[in-house]
Structures are given as structure tokens and as C-alpha cells.
């Protein structure tokens, strides 16, 4: 509880924190150029962690508990089988359906069924969702902060593309103007997204068929070990997570996956380093005891960093790159086609972004996705996310009251989002 004389409306403005699922930075910039959201400052690029998925991103941004898996259908390493899935969306939102503790702080989120229906009936769902949010916010006490999450924007982009999202953004702009007229300047509105989105038609990659050709056994459970591999397929996204029945086959499986058309690169652990293996070569990312990182190229240049390393004098002795701080990597690569890739990719496997970390993470090229085949048959995939490219990594953050840095990492986002809200 805030002490008397401090907190919302006293020592600082009351705050409405509003997350728009899946809206990329460049679409908000375009909307601002059209005259929308004119009360807000310049949109900051907010870098989503890889894989660029909602619960991974928001749990990182808020320093919350990691979700069980990258999606609601996930591989449980303890049970050695796939769990979750479509059953999450049936019935009420019970504690077992709360993926991360950041959701405990939400004052508004869509009804549970909307999370699935947004991909089936996006037009009706986003309109209903925005109207419900506005009604709930107006009815809330005016002396406390408010945190809301609108998922309809993600479904609109997936199923109908940016043109229909722009219509929704126009509606949201009107709602926010009405909220500002209702609340006055005493309420700061912080608008942000969890991840970006590639804005192009996507085709499915068939990872399972290729692995079977390589004599792997692709199945849900891995209790018998050996050459069995589990790759949970649910949302239609530009990443995939693979779990191997035996550590002995991880490197072989990773190499096989790079042969699949549409795969950009794969990453897997090799003791205390992370191997990046892709269509453009192989490299290793290492971290020393000082928390510094280096990118060691074996062949080619899978993350396209050689020119930056040479240009910024990070090479050290000939052919031996220097260890560089995470802040330095961020400074020189946050605008790269793989934003902040050295630290981001390393941390995807070496920190607990989910409870059940994959053996292999697969980043697909824009224009490609992996997911549940039946779902793909009734959803026209006009856009998606999940990979480590800029299109999916560049979320946004902007405020009506504060000027923000040009770019912020997800790990550093909490002070800009929550400040002293909690």
C-alpha cells in the first residue's frame, strides 16, 4: 500500500499500463506518422527475448516467474512428455492456467476463450475486447494504477495482416483519447508490446518429416531415450523447440535441422558455450567469469556479425575475438538484423526463460513457420513471430508523460514499465 502523500496521483501521475500483443515497432511508428497516438512521445524499440513469444517476453520484462514452456503446449522435461495445449483454453482461467506471475498483476485481460477465438473470429473478438477493457478501466478506482493486456492485436496480425490491425489501432486511439479526457493529465498512459511480427505470407516447414528421413523418431514422449525427438507443434510461429531423448544425438539432430528449407539457424549447448549452426555457417558464443561475451566464428558467419566486429575493433588478436560486455554488445548490435544477438541467443539456452528449456532452439527465416497442422488449415497466416530477426524482436514502448531511451532490452524494461507501481 502506498504511504500517504505518495503514489498514484500524489508523488507521480496515476499510470495505465497497456500491452498490445504482437504489435511491431514499425507499425506504431507508421501509425504515429498518420497522426494517431499524438499524445505519446517517440516510440522506443523494446527488444523481445528469443524465442520472441508472449509469455517468454512478458515474464522477462517484468522479472516474473518463467512460464513452463514457450507456448501452452510444451515439453515437460521431468515427465519427459508433451503437456498442456488446447485444454488450456477450455473452462475458466484457473491457477494452473496462469503461465507466469506477471499475470497476477493484470487488472484486465481477455476472457480465456478469447485467447483461442481471436485466431478464428478476430474481428469480433478485438472489438469486444477493446470495449470491455474501456468499460472495466472507467469503472476502476481512479486513485490506483491499472495494468491491462489486449491480445486481439496479435490475432488480427496473424490472421488478417497489418491493414486490419491499422483499423483496430484507429479505434484504440479514439478509446485512449476518451480515457485521457475522462482522467485528465493526472494519468500517464504507457503503451507497449511484447514482441514484433514479420508482415508477410508464411509457409510451413516440415521438421518432423526431415528428421525421420535422418532416422530419428519424432514423438511426443521421450521415456525410452535413444534417437527420439519431441518438437511440440501448436501456435503457427517462426521458431521451434526440440527436445532429444539422449544428449548424444543433440549435435547430430541440430545439424540435420539446418538442412530443412526455411530454417535460418539452430542453437544448442556445448558445455558452457552455445553453438550457432545455420545456413550461413557455424559459430560459438562464450561467456567468461566477468559476464562478458564473445562470438567465435568456425565457418561462414551465421549471425552476420563479422563486419561489425571488424569495424568496431572487437577482434582482439587476429582470428581471436575479444570478450565484450553485454552493454557493449547491446550498444553496437541493437539495430542489427539479429538485434543484440550474441547476448540474446546465448541467454536463450543459458538462462531460465522457461522452466523446461529446449535442447535445440530453431529460428526460422521470415516467411516460414512451424506449428499444429490442423490449425494451419483454417488460419491464413498473414504474419507471425518467434524467430531472432528484427521483425519479431522489435516490440515498442511509449509514454504520454516520459521521454524514453531509443532502445531498451527486455531484461532492462521493468523500471520503464512498472517503476514504483508495485
- Encode pLDDT of 260-297 as tens digits: 999 999 999 999 999 999 999 999 999 999 999 999 99
Q: What is the mean pLDDT of residues 136-146?
A: 92
Chain length of the chain: 422
Does pLDDT of 56 surpass 80? yes
**191-217: average pLDDT:** 96
User: Is 314's pLDDT higher than 70?
Assistant: no
Q: How much of the chain, in percent, has pLDDT values that exceed 70?
A: 87
> Residue 11: its pLDDT value, please?
58
Contact between 47 and 394 under an 8 Å Cβ cutoff? The reply is yes
User: What number is the average pLDDT over the span 321-326?
Assistant: 89
Can you state the percent helix, strand and coil of the chain, rounding each to 5?
Answer: 35, 25, 40
Query: Is the predicted pLDDT of residue 320 greater than 60, yes or no?
Result: yes
User: pLDDT confidence of 255, banded at 50, 70, 90?
Assistant: very high
Given a contact cutoff of 8 angstroms between Cβ atoms, the answer to whether 394 and 24 are in contact is yes
Q: 384-414: per-residue pLDDT in tens? A: 999 999 999 999 999 999 999 999 999 999 9
Position 95 confidence tier, pLDDT thresholds 50, 70, 90 = low
What's the pTM value of the predicted model, to 2 decimals? 0.92
Cβ neighbours of residue 145 closer than 8 Å, sequence gap 6 or more: 8, 14, 15, 16, 17, 421
Least confident of 11-20, 134-143, 188-197: 11-20
The neighbour count for residue 279, using CB atoms within 10 Å, is 15
Mean pLDDT of 51-71: 96
Predicted pLDDT at 99: 77
List beta partners, residue 148: 18, 108
Domains of the chain: 14-65+100-200+385-417 (3.40.720.10), 205-377 (no CATH)
At 5-47, the pLDDT tens digits run 445 655 578 999 999 999 999 999 999 999 999 999 999 999 9
Reply yes or no on whether the pLDDT at 1 is more than 90.
Answer: no
Closest C-alpha to 197, from 52, 342, 70: 52
Q: Which of 66, 19, 24, 20 is nearest to 384 (CA)?
A: 24
The answer to whether residue 92 scores a pLDDT higher than 50 is: no
Q: What is the pLDDT of residue 375?
A: 60
**Does residue 121 register a pLDDT over 90?**
no
Of residues 376 and 149, the one with the higher pLDDT is: 149
Confidence tier at 367 by pLDDT (50, 70, 90): very high
Q: Is the pLDDT of residue 317 over 60?
A: no
Amino acid at each position: 500500500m502506498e504511504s500517504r502523500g505518495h503514489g498514484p496521483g500524489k508523488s507521480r501521475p496515476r499510470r495505465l499500463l497497456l500491452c498490445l500483443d504482437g504489435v511491431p515497432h514499425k507499425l506504431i511508428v507508421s501509425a504515429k506518422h498518420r497522426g494517431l497516438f499524438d499524445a505519446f512521445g517517440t516510440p522506443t524499440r523494446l527488444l523481445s527475448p528469443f524465442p520472441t513469444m508472449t509469455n517468454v517476453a512478458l515474464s522477462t520484462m517484468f522479472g516474473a516467474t518463467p512460464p513452463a514452456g514457450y507456448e501452452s503446449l510444451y515439453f515437460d522435461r521431468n515427465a519427459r512428455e508433451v503437456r498442456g495445449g488446447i485444454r488450456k483454453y477450455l473452462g475458466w482461467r484457473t491457477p494452473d492456467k496462469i503461465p507466469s506471475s506477471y499475470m497476477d498483476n493484470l487488472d484486465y485481460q481477455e476472457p480465456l476463450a478469447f485467447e483461442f477465438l481471436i485466431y478464428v473470429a478476430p474481428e469480433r473478438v478485438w472489438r469486444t475486447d477493446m470495449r470491455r477493457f474501456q468499460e472495466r478501466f472507467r469503472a476502476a478506482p481512479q486513485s490506483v494504477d491499472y495494468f491491462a493486456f489486449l491480445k486481439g492485436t496479435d490475432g488480427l496480425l496473424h490472421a488478417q495482416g497489418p491493414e486490419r490491425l491499422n483499423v483496430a489501432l484507429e479505434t484504440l486511439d479514439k478509446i485512449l483519447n476518451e480515457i485521457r479526457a475522462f482522467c485528465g493529465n493526472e494519468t500517464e498512459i504507457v503503451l507497449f508490446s511484447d514482441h514484433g511480427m514479420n508482415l508477410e505470407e508464411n509457409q510451413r516447414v516440415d521438421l518432423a518429416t526431415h528428421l525421420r528421413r535422418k532416422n530419428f523418431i519424432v514423438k511426443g514422449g521421450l521415456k525410452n531415450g535413444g534417437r527420439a525427438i519431441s518438437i511440440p507443434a501448436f501456435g503457427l510461429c517462426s521458431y521451434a523447440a526440440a527436445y532429444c531423448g539422449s544428449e548424444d544425438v543433440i549435435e547430430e539432430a541440430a545439424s540435420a535441422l539446418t538442412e530443412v528449407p526455411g530454417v535460418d539457424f539452430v542453437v544448442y549447448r556445448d558445455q558452457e558455450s552455445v553453438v550457432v549452426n545455420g545456413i550461413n555457417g557455424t559459430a560459438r558464443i562464450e561467456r567468461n567469469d566477468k559476464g562478458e561475451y564473445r562470438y567465435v566464428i568456425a565457418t561462414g558467419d551465421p549471425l552476420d556479425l563479422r563486419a561489425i566486429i571488424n569495424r568496431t575493433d572487437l577482434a582482439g588478436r587476429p582470428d581471436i575475438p575479444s570478450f565484450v560486455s553485454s552493454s557493449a554488445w547491446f550498444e553496437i548490435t541493437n539495430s542489427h538484423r539479429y538485434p543484440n544477438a550474441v547476448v540474446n541467443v546465448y541467454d536463450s539456452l543459458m538462462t531460465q526463460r522457461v522452466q523446461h528449456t529446449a535442447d535445440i532452439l530453431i529460428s526460422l527465416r521470415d516467411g516460414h513457420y512451424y506449428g499444429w497442422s490442423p490449425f494451419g488449415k483454417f488460419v491464413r497466416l498473414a504474419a507471425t513471430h518467434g524467430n531472432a530477426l528484427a521483425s519479431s524482436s522489435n516490440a515498442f514502448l511509449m509514454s504520454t508523460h516520459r521521454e524514453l531511451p531509443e532502445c531498451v532490452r527486455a531484461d532492462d524494461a521493468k523500471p520503464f514499465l512498472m517503476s514504483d507501481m508495485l
